[in-house]
Amino acid sequence: AAKQAGRNCWHFYEAFMLQDTYEKMMLTNGLRRALEREELFLHYQPQFTMTGDIVGFEALLRWNSAEFGLVSPDRFIPLAEQSGLILPIGKWVLQEACRFARRLADMEKENVHIAVNISPRQLIADDFVDTVCDTIKKAGIKPGQIEFEITESALIESMEDSAIKLEELRHMGVTLALDDFGTGYSSLTYLMSLPVGTLKIDKSFMDKITDGREQLQLVGSIINLGHTLGLVIVAEGVETENQLELLLKIGCDHIQGYVFSQPIPEEEAITFIFPRII
Ligand code: C2E
Ligand code: MG
Ligand code: MG
Ligand code: MG
């Protein structure tokens, strides 16, 4: 009977795996057409100083599929990475972000940066630096209007090659943020050997800072370490006033999270900067 149960279990597992593989294949095929079908768009999440001034927006990709409806980036970005589709999609994201940055510059808001997430596959590509240069030039914006967000895991794959490319971009004037800090290897080596200007402390830390003294002190230590290295500290995924107050106390520089705003469409983002126009 036990053997029988084990077999059933296996069949269940196998079916489950096949279903997941099938779903991934369907989604990847859908994603292949998403660009030409104009199913992709960006939302922008404002980033604030502790006193409530907007310093930038993070561009976050959205996919509204005709077949599957709204698909979460946590689901489709990994598929785009595995299939290589992140290369054309990533180029499109950068173009869109630069177009928005141009719009902001036209409204004399070129000090408000646009943060763009970059996947390992994009960074590894030979034409990455050239593509970035071209896109920024064509949009007619200053490189300083664009910030790249890279995760630590993106860097371990090809540390030296990445460091050279990021150094070139930094030299141009593009700024660099280390995303989801604290979830990966968090090696000091990355922080010291890369031209990072900003540290984004992961949401998982924010979820815990109201739990007790230790968790808060831990985040406080990260902030102090970052400041010692001359970095700007952004807290990600801040949802409550309580968290906000604590972060202010421990010296955090910038805040991004639902407490101020969810990611929003471009037009809404514009009214966010010019509240009096509406
Ligand atoms: P991320 O870069 O760490 O982006 C932050 C994520 O946290 C976003 O999820 C954002 O909507 C969410 N978030 C922000 N504030 C809060 C909050 O207060 N509470 C909660 N619960 N969530 C909050 P999203 O938009 O689903 O994106 C997920 C991930 O997908 C991003 O994580 C990023 O790694 C990736 N991604 C999104 N757009 C792009 C893109 O254009 N290119 C690449 N390569 N990756 C992207
Ligand atoms: Mg990010
Ligand atoms: Mg993040
Ligand atoms: Mg993330």
Q: Average pLDDT in the 143-170 region?
A: 90
Looking at the DSSP bridge assignments, the partners of residue 47 are: 56
pTM: 0.94
- The pLDDT score that the predictor gives to residue 185 is 73
pLDDT reading at 8 higher than 70? no
Whole-number Å distance, alpha carbon 117 to ligand 2 midpoint, is: 5
Average pLDDT over residues 223-227: 96
Confidence check: pLDDT of 2 > 90: no
Q: How far is CA 274 from the centre of its chain?
A: 25
84-97, pLDDT tens digit by residue? 999 999 999 999 99
Distance from the CA of 123 to the center of ligand 1, in angstroms? 19
**Which residue's CA is the nearest one to ligand 1's atom 45?**
117
DSSP code per residue over 135-154 = HHHHHT--GGGEEEEEEHHH
Which whole number is the average pLDDT over 71-88? Answer: 97
**Distance between Cα 15 and ligand 3 center (Å):** 33
Indicate the residue type of 239.
E
Q: What is the pLDDT of residues 197-219, one digit of tens each?
A: 999 999 999 999 999 899 999 99
Nearest-atom index, ligand 1, CA of 93: 41
Atom in ligand 1 nearest the alpha carbon of residue 256: 15
Look at residue 277 and tell me whether its pLDDT is greater than 50.
no
Lowest-pLDDT range of 103-112, 152-161, 171-180, 226-235: 152-161
Collect all residues with Cβ–Cβ distance below 8 Å to 191 and sequence separation of at least 6. 178, 199, 229, 231
Closest to 91 (Cα-Cα) out of 57, 44, 139: 139
For 244, half-sphere exposure in the C-beta direction (CA atoms, 13 angstrom radius) is 14
Choosing from 41, 72, 77, 152 the residue with most ligand 1 atoms within 8 A of its CB, the one to mutate for a pocket test is: 77
Kindly give the number of the ligand 1 atom that is closest to the alpha carbon of 73.
Answer: 30
Are the C-beta atoms of 139 and 99 separated by less than 8 Å?
Answer: yes
Give the pLDDT score at 69.
Answer: 96
Q: How many CA atoms lie within 13 A of 163 on its CB side?
A: 10
Ligand 1 surroundings by CB, under 6 angstroms: 45, 60-61, 72-74, 77, 93, 117-119, 149, 179-180, 236-239, 256-258, 263
Question: Has residue 6 got a pLDDT over 60?
Answer: no
How high does pLDDT run on average in the chain? 92
